Structure 1
Amino acid sequence: MKSGLHRTLAVVGLVAAIGFTSACSTAVPSGNTDNATSAARTPVEDLSIAIVLSGPITDNDFNQVGYEAAEAAGEEVGAEVAYAENVSDANAERTLRNFASDGYDLIIAHSFSFGDATLRVAAEFPDAVFMAGTATSNAENVGTYDNPDYQGAYLAGMLAAGVASEGTVGWVSAIQTPNLLANLHAYEAGAEDINPEITVLHSFIGSFYDPPRAREAALAQIQSGAQVLSAQTVGTIDGAIDGGALAIGALTDQNFLGPDNVLTSVLWDLAPVFTDVATAVQDGSWTNENYSYGVAEGSITLADFHGLDSRVPADVMATVLEREAEIASGEFEVPYDVTTVD
């Protein structure tokens, strides 16, 4: 398989996933990979990378983020890249094993539900390096990475509160998982940073993918006074458009879904971490740590406002940018809170 050149190979998964949020629901901030020592690695001259995705690479969300990051890493280090999309949890182990059997050096399990499958396959292929969104335990050839998008959610909350002249904003998501709860509480904290009297409405629709229900939840929040919504699940932006509210997208720049309504989006760029991991595998310096790249590493950022920054008061925008710089420098730490809510 190794050619020494960047070459993308596609493998279609057997069963389509039902939504990106199921793949990103259990991320933790850091430090979940300390229970196995990383063995010394042999440098890899002609690196090959494979990534296994739970949904399509064109979802404009979680799976596209992973695919594009793997492509960017391959370009940067000169590695062959292959991918499998629409892989269900039931087929994850078989897909990972196929890539390992084919001799791929770095195999990325891009779903936070693929952790156990990754550990089982990694035990059979100790010469390969595996990266999983999360894992219940560790192995010497398994590292993890997470999505600290709660840092961006704090900034989104600041923006939402600054724009909401009537003092109410909203947040619509799927199910109460640690990642999404951390996101919600950071959004609330950011909103209160701008307006201590702000009202933050929240809805968990009870499904990882139910656009009609998300739209209904968004409309209900708008009817209750929300002027800006954090769109954490598909359908929320549709509700914002129908209800005449603004929305803040997630993971990719989602302005194209509502050019007049999507104020900005909280982006997750995995290219820096995947490139650093690939480089470390190449030179033999890779270790089985948890890679948590956020604002400081340029992985969590705000998307372009596409001209809608005129909706944000100048003093609010200045405060948001100042807080973003403080997060990047470490001067300000966004609270990580996964407390369940009513």
Structure 2
Amino acid sequence: MQKKSKKPLLRALVAALGFSAAMSASAADPLKVGFVYIGPIGDHGWTYQHEQGRKMLAEQMGDKVETSFVENVPEGADAERVIRNMAKSGYDLIFTTSFGYMNPTLKVAKQFPKVTFEHATGYKQAKNLGTYLSRSYEGRYVGGYLAAKMTKTKKIGYIASFPIPEVIRDINSIQLALDKYNPGTEIKVVWVNSWFDPGKESDAANALIDQGVDVVFQHTDSPAPIQTAERRGVYAVGYASDMQHFGPKAVLTSIVNNWGPHYIKSAQAVIDGNWKSQDYWGGLNDDTIQLPISDLVPADVKAEAEQIEASIKSGEFHPFTGPIKDQSGAVKIADGVVATNAELASMNYYVENVKAELPK
């Protein structure tokens, strides 16, 4: 009797094992996560903090994710090209981290429905596009309290990037704190029309200090305003990252953005298959905003600042609780009413007592 060859059986077994191994490898493929940055990762501000968040994601999730980034991407056509190239290159989750990326992100998201997108600071969403931002106005309010207590000239400066809602509401939040804790204190605003331009930021800081400002805030990304304040002998409040080391004799606090936990949560949700589009606002209560207060601040002032911070964390106090009027005296938020996220996200007016003029 002729024996049957075992080769077909072996081939079938090998093929089956190979298929199984391929399936296993596919199941274990890392989630590809991309980040699009407006500035350089070394700006020590906004982009730097997003990069710290990416690093935290990579470190804590290990081989479950594969991350990369593109820095210095201008808003507009270049952003759309970069975002689309990421989507075409097999990225599963893409974070776009500047307000001006909103429309390009939405356009690409519609073209790549199987890719998940999240856009920082915007308000347009889709089934596969969510939004996220920090409640930086909470930190600004506490910073405004510190400025109210530390100023001698009753003139506070603000170096602003672009007249978009997040910048406007942060200015308003500071003014509300000034009105409460040192009435008559004025906030002066200089618009630099840039997110990252150390030269312009330094010039703006000098111009404000020349006008008598003795506490400088910024909504820009470089440490240049801090360094200028240190050199000129006035106080400053940092933004995005802890800028204390750039001005040890100047920095009262910094409104620090801590993005890592959100990036980890979003990536895990995509892996688990339960990610849903949402409008995420992270604040003091979930550690998305952190406020390291300097020893330059007297102990009693620091203690009260910490009490204000605790009341915001607990929900007992909200900086935008009415009555709040605009510069014309019109009531924008009624007495006892707390502003909704939608009202905060679309804020396009200065509150009363802001003496500056809002750019058209």
Q: Normalising by structure 1, what TM-score? A: 0.79
Alignment of 1:68-107 (within 5 A): 68-78=52-62, 79-89=65-75, 90-107=77-94
Alignment of 1:13-24 (within 5 A): none
Q: Which residue of 2 aligns with 1:334?
A: 319
Paired residues of 1:53 and 1:86 also in contact (CA < 8 A): yes
Offset at 1:199? Answer: 3.0
Paired residues of 1:295 and 1:301 also in contact (CA < 8 A): yes
Offset at 1:271? Answer: 1.1
Offset at 1:222? Answer: 2.7
Segment of structure 1 superposing worse, 70-79 or 263-272: 70-79
Please tell me whether Structure 1 or Structure 2 has the larger radius of gyration of its CA atoms: 2
Tell me whether 1:182 sits opposite 2:172 in the alignment. Answer: no
Alignment RMSD (CA, Å): 2.5
Offset at 1:255? Answer: 2.0
Q: Equivalents in 2 of 1:208, 1:62: separation in Å?
A: 9
Paired residues of 1:255 and 1:265 also in contact (CA < 8 A): yes
Q: Which residue of 2 aligns with 1:54?
A: 38
Q: Which has the higher contact order (CA 8 A, sep 6+)?
A: 1
Which of 281, 292, 296 is 2:281 aligned to? 292
Tell me whether 1:246 sits opposite 2:235 in the alignment. Answer: yes
Offset at 1:46? Answer: 3.1
Q: Which residue of 2 aligns with 1:126?
A: 113
Q: Which of the pair is proportionally richer in helix?
A: 2
Segment of structure 1 superposing worse, 253-262 or 145-154: 253-262
Q: Which residue of 1 aligns with 2:306?
A: 321
Tell me whether 1:111 sits opposite 2:118 in the alignment. Answer: no
* 1:258-283 CA-partner distances (Å, limit 9, x unpaired): 22222221101111211111121111
Offset at 1:107? Answer: 0.9
Offset at 1:285? Answer: 1.6
Which of 231, 245, 249 is 1:260 aligned to? 249
Per the alignment, in what secondary structure is the counterpart of residue 127 of structure 1?
coil
Q: Equivalents in 1 of 2:28, 2:266: separation in Å?
A: 12
Q: Equivalents in 1 of 2:79, 2:187: separation in Å?
A: 38
One-letter identity of the residue aligned with 1:66: H
Q: Equivalents in 2 of 1:261, 1:159: separation in Å?
A: 13
Q: Which residue of 2 aligns with 1:144?
A: 131
Offset at 1:136? Answer: 6.1
* Distance change (3 Å), C-alpha of 1:214 and 1:104: closer
Offset at 1:213? Answer: 4.3
Q: Equivalents in 1 of 2:98, 2:28: separation in Å?
A: 25
Segment of structure 1 superposing worse, 211-220 or 265-274: 211-220
Q: Equivalents in 2 of 1:44, 1:283: separation in Å?
A: 13
Offset at 1:294? Answer: 1.1
* 1:32-88 CA-partner distances (Å, limit 9, x unpaired): xxxxxxxxxxx9973221111122111111111112212212322331111111222
Q: Equivalents in 1 of 2:200, 2:42: separation in Å?
A: 22
* Distance change (3 Å), C-alpha of 1:338 and 1:137: closer
One-letter identity of the residue aligned with 1:258: G
Listed as ranges, the gaps of 5+ residues in structure 2 are 1-23, 321-343, 351-355
Q: Equivalents in 2 of 1:59, 1:216: separation in Å?
A: 17
Per the alignment, in what secondary structure is the counterpart of residue 146 of structure 1?
strand
Paired residues of 1:169 and 1:200 also in contact (CA < 8 A): yes
Per the alignment, in what secondary structure is the counterpart of residue 175 of structure 1?
coil
Q: Equivalents in 1 of 2:108, 2:28: separation in Å?
A: 20
One-letter identity of the residue aligned with 2:92: D
Alignment of 1:29-68 (within 5 A): 46-68=30-52
Q: Equivalents in 1 of 2:52, 2:61: separation in Å?
A: 14
Segment of structure 1 superposing worse, 292-301 or 201-210: 201-210
Which of 197, 202, 210 is 1:215 aligned to? 202
Listed as ranges, the gaps of 5+ residues in structure 1 are 5-42
Q: Which residue of 1 aligns with 2:259?
A: 270
One-letter identity of the residue aligned with 2:218: A
Q: Equivalents in 2 of 1:321, 1:87: separation in Å?
A: 38
Segment of structure 1 superposing worse, 67-76 or 216-225: 216-225
Tell me whether 1:279 sits opposite 2:268 in the alignment. Answer: yes
Q: Which residue of 2 aligns with 1:26?
A: none
Offset at 1:210? Answer: 4.7
* 1:128-187 CA-partner distances (Å, limit 9, x unpaired): 111112556422111111232111111111111111244333222233221111111111
